[in-house]
Structure 1
C-alpha cells in the first residue's frame, strides 16, 4: 500500500493539494490512501472524496517518532517533526513503512506531499 502524506497551510486550496500530490507522484504512481494530521483531515477530505481514497488521520504525538528525510525549522517548532508530509505518510503506512520520496511542494508552495510504502505492498 502506498500512502500519500500531506502537510499544508490553512490557506491551501484543493488545487494546492492536487498539485502537491502530482509533484510527489509524477502522475505515474498510484496511491492507495491519503494521510495528514488529525486536526487537518477535514481540509484534506475533499481530495480524498474526489479520488475515492481512504483518508487516515494521524495524531501529532506520532510524528516525532518517524524518521523523516527533510528538516523544516518551522515544522519542527510547530509539530515536533521536520516534515509533516513525510511523518504522516510513514505513520499511516505502519510500523515497517518506508519513505519512497521526500516531500514535494505544490506549485504555490502551500502544500507538501510525501509517499511511503507499507511492507504489504
Structure 2
C-alpha cells in the first residue's frame, strides 16, 4: 500500500464575482474568521482581515493595485495579498492567505498550505 495523499482542502463559497468591485477590498466570514477579498485585474485574492502587528482591520486600509499590497490603516505596514507576507515594517509576521478559485461566477476559498 502506498502513502496516503492528503484530502483536497474544503472550499468555502464566499461571493459571486460581480459582488467584488475592482481594487476595493470586501470582507466575508469564512469558518468564523474575517477574510479580506479583493479583485484586481483578472484575479481574486484573499487574506485574513486582521493585521498581525496591531490587530487593525486590513480592509479599512489602502489597497495598492500596482504592488498587490494592502496597507494597514494603523501603522502603514503592508501585506502581499497573494501570499499574506508582511512586506513593509512594522509588520513582520505574515497573515493567513487563501487559495482562491473562481468557478463560473462563484468565488471559492480554501486556506493555503502552511509549508
TM-score where L is the length of structure 1? 0.29
Greater Rg by CA: 2
Structure with higher strand content: 2
Structure with higher helix content: 1
